[in-house]
Amino acid sequence: MSVAPGDLVQLSEPDYQYGTGPLRLRITRVRFDLSTWYDGRWVWLEGIEIRVDDQDGRLRQVLVRVSALPKPEA
């Protein structure tokens, strides 16, 4: 997993919890403290939802499947 505050991630509905439909999220915080409970499979992200009109939406907290996030570059 290679995400940090400021990154924009695009998630499909099966790849995150607590929402419906696709989600674009500009990350403001990666919650490693809570993520340890999910055996490295899921990570808590906080961020600003980016709406379909490319404007900032609401603050979101989502549990994201690690396999759906960008991989670190080698």
Q: What is the pLDDT of residue 74?
A: 57
What span, in angstroms and rounded, lies between the C-alpha atoms of 4 and 20? 23
Is 62 in contact with 51 (CB distance < 8 Å)?
A: no
pLDDT at 62: 95
Amino acid letter for position 57: G
pLDDT in the model for residue 33:
80
For the chain of 74 residues, list the mean pLDDT of each consecutive stretch of 10: 89 93 96 79 94 96 92 70
Sorted by where each begins, the domain ranges of the chain are 7-68
- Residue 18 is predicted with a pLDDT of 86
Q: How far is CA 52 from CA 10, 37, 39, 45, 61, in A?
A: 12, 32, 33, 20, 19
